[in-house]
Amino acid sequence: MLTYLFEYLEKQYQFPGATLFQFSTFRAAMAILLSLIIATAFGKRIILFLQKQQVGETIRDLGLEGQKQKAGTPTMGGIIIILATLIPVILFARLDNIYIILLIFTMLWMGAIGFLDDYIKVFKKNKEGLKGRFKVLGQVTLGLIVGAVLYFHPEVTMRDHDKSIITSEFVVEQVKGAEIKSTMTTVPFFKNNEFDYGILIDWAGDGAQEYAWLIFIPMIILIVTAVSNGANLTDGIDGLAAGNSAIIVFTLGVFALVSGNAVFSDYLDIMYIPRVGELLIFVTAFVGALIGFLWYNAFPAQVFMGDTGSLTIGGVIAVIAIIVRKELLIPVLCGIFFAESLSVMLQVGYFKYTRNKYGEGRRIFLMSPLHHHYQKKGYHESKIVTRFWIVGILLAIVTIVTLKIR
């Protein structure tokens, strides 16, 4: 909103400083500052409100040290993250940008699903919360909407890099590449690292590329569902999900910056995505909100994000990665989420297998998700969180390095 206001003031009155709002980097800096202020300054008020409404977390006895002391800690703290992200985005981003619209919708959609789940747990006294099939239905619906928009919307395009041509003996002109619709994505660690989902349907014959959405949209649904659930499983101890998510989102912001800039993308020889640079404002606001939330969520936590936060974080991360065409990097970048999810799948699968084979279920880990395994081994949760953050930073560095290592 402020962008449009200052554009008007600059055009009509040459208002001093108004031109600053033309630069996405300036608006991104303002967005992260405002999101930090909102999360830290107003987060306490939201926590007090949640306490007043007796929105306390019900803690199941898992036999973990310090667990009982957490009972009654306010949950639904994801509201802080959502508000601290959306307010700066509405103020500083271009609201006619299709990617910004899509991310705002994603945050509200997943936030509503998570809020409903927390509401049922807290106020309906149902520890199971929203039934799993309804959560999955919400995630699948989001993936369907996101996939359809990215495939069919006319403003979701890619562009060939600008090329120099000689128009006369001494004159060299820059010719802009054409904007095209494409289902291409990035395959990490390969020299020719662009992969088109449409290839997977070429076997159907001539004209099959028109139906590439039959491959593209299900892939989006799978990614959104997987990452959302991964973030949800990671939210188990103080600061773990918020800290690792901030690292992941910051890294995706780097990709949004270089993919949305014709010069950077040309130099790095990566796909240039018009209009994706505006994502930088959303990303910085989101990072600021996550860091600000850590002010109250770091050990010992004064508030938990609940499913209101964790499902939202996972959904937004997935959509950002898909928009910048880096979704195949998710197993690396979101390695913590991936490990947490994998530990649960392995634990459940192995338990069922051994129960059927030996009549007694056996376990790979002392407890899953993975962070609880280390708690059972006697590690303090602050040490677990810090070490998971360090691993997350290493994975982020590896992810960024894929820009040049192929």
Start-end of H helices in 260-380:
262-268, 279-297, 306-323, 330-333, 335-358, 370-376
Start-end of H helices in 124-237:
132-152, 213-234
From the centroid of its chain, how far is CA 40?
21
Indicate the helix (H) or strand (E) that contains 186. Answer: strand 184-186
Q: Which two tokens stand for residue 69?
A: 């002391």
- What residues have CB less than 8 Å from 130, skipping those under 6 apart? 113, 116, 117, 120, 307
**Residue 307: closest CA among 145, 44, 82:** 82
State the DSSP code for 174: E
* Residue 238 assigned as binding residue: no
Q: Is 93 helix (H, G, I), strand (E, B) or coil?
A: coil
At CA 387, angle to CA 227 and CA 381, rounded to 5?
90
* Residue 193 assigned as binding residue: no
Binding-site positions for Mg(2+): 232, 307
Binding-site positions: 232, 307
